[in-house]
C-alpha cells in the first residue's frame, strides 16, 4: 500500500547551511535560501539564481526529522544562532542535513492533487505520425510494425520499401551521435536475421546535428529531417484509433 501524505506544501525562507551526503558529498555555506517541503515529503532548496534545479534536494520517499537547538547551543558554522536541525533521509542512506539559523518566512499551503501535464510534440508523437505516413520516406513504402522487438531493445519502425527490402527507422526529436550508434546496433542485429537481411537504415529527426549526419552517412544510413507540423497537418485524425 502506498503511503498517503497530507496534501500540503511548506515554503520556508531561512538562513541555513546544508550538507548532503550520498552519491556525493556537498556542503552549502550559510545563506538565505528557500526551502520547499512538498506533500510527498520531498525537499528542495533553492537559491535566487540558477535554473530549475535546486542547490540541494531529497527525492521522495524520505523521512524528515526536526530537532530544536537547545538554548545556548553553538552551531558548528556561523556562530550561536542555530534554531533547529532537519535531517532528511532516504532508504538508500542518502542524507540531507539542514541547519536553520534564522526563519524569515514560513507558510504552509494546501494545493490539492495536480491534474497533471498534457504534452504534445514528444518523440512518441513523431513516431506515431511517421508510422501512419511511411510513404513520406519513399513511394510504395509500407510499415511492418512500430517498436519492432530485438534482443537489445525495440526498433522504432520496421518498414519495407517498394521493392520489399527491409528498412529500420530510428526516430529522434534531435538527432545526435548516440542515436546513430543506437540504430547501428539494431542494424547489426537485424542483419543477422536471414528472414530480414539485408536491412537498410534511416535516421529520422526534426533536427540532425552535423556530426551525427556525417557518422550516419559514413555508415550508409540515410538521414531524413522530419517536419512535425507538416506530418501533423497531413495526419488525418479520422484514420486514428485514438
Residues that bind DNA (CB under 7 A): 20, 22-24, 26, 50-54, 56-59, 90, 94, 96, 117, 119, 121-124, 147, 149, 152-153, 156, 172-174, 176-179, 182, 185, 209-212
**The one among 2, 4, 53, 91 contacting a copy of itself by CB under 8 A:** 53
> Contacts with a copy of itself in 162-221 (CB under 8 A)?
173, 178, 181, 185, 211, 215
How many CA atoms, within 13 angstroms, populate the side-chain half-sphere of residue 29? Answer: 1
Q: Give SS3 for 181.
A: helix
**The one among 3, 4, 52, 67 contacting a copy of itself by CB under 8 A:** 52
> With CB cut-offs between 5 and 8 Å by kind, which of DNA, a copy of itself, none does residue 109 bind?
a copy of itself
Name the residue nearer to a copy of itself (CB basis): 152 or 162: 152
Q: Using the rule CB under 8 A, is 230 a contact of a copy of itself?
A: no
Q: What angle do CA 163, 168, 169 make, to 5 degrees?
A: 115
| Cα 178 from Cα 105, distance rounded (Å) | 46
CB of 162 to a copy of itself, least distance (A): 33
Cβ contacts of 159 within 8 Å, gap of 6 or more: 134, 137, 141, 142, 143, 144, 166, 167, 168, 169
Could you give the angle at which helices 177-190 and 210-218 cross, rounded to 10 degrees? 20
| Cα 41 from Cα 188, distance rounded (Å) | 46
**The one among 1, 70, 120, 237 contacting a copy of itself by CB under 8 A:** 120
Inter-residue contact 145 to 158 (CB < 8 Å): yes
Which parts of this chain interact with a copy of itself (CB under 8 A)? 5, 7-9, 11, 13, 23-34, 36, 38-40, 42, 44, 46-57, 59-60, 104-105, 107, 109-122, 152, 173, 178, 181, 185, 211, 215
Amino acid at each position: 500500500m502506498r503511503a498517503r501524505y497530507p496534501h500540503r506544501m511548506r515554503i520556508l525562507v531561512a538562513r541555513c547551511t546544508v550538507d548532503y551526503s550520498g552519491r556525493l558529498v556537498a556542503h552549502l555555506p550559510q545563506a538565505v535560501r528557500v526551502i520547499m517541503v512538498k506533500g510527498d515529503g520531498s525537499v528542495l532548496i533553492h537559491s535566487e539564481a540558477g535554473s530549475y534545479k535546486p542547490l540541494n534536494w531529497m527525492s521522495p520517499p524520505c523521512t524528515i526529522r526536526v530537532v530544536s537547538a537547545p538554548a545556548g547551543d553553538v552551531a558548528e558554522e556561523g556562530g550561536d544562532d542555530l534554531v533547529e536541525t532537519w535531517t532528511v533521509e532516504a532508504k538508500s542512506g542518502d542524507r540531507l542535513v539542514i541547519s536553520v539559523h534564522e526563519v524569515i518566512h514560513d507558510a504552509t499551503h494546501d494545493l490539492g492533487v495536480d491534474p497533471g501535464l498534457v504534452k504534445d510534440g514528444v518523440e512518441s508523437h513523431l513516431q506515431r505520425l511517421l508510422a501512419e505516413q511511411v510513404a513520406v520516406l519513399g513511394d510504395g513504402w509500407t510499415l511492418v510494425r512500430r517498436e519492432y522487438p530485438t534482443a537489445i531493445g525495440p526498433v522504432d519502425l520496421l518498414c519495407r520499401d517498394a521493392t520489399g527490402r527491409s528498412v529500420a527507422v530510428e526516430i529522434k526529436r534531435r538527432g545526435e551521435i548516440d542515436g546513430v550508434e543506437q540504430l547501428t546496433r539494431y542494424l547489426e542485429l537485424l542483419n543477422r536475421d536471414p528472414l530480414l537481411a539485408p536491412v537498410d537504415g534511416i535516421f529520422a529527426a526534426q533536427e540532425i546535428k552535423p556530426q551525427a549526419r556525417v557518422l550516419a552517412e559514413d555508415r550508409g544510413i540515410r538521414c531524413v529531417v522530419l517536419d512535425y507540423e507538416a506530418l501533423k497537418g497531413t495526419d488525418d485524425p479520422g484514420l486514428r484509433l485514438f
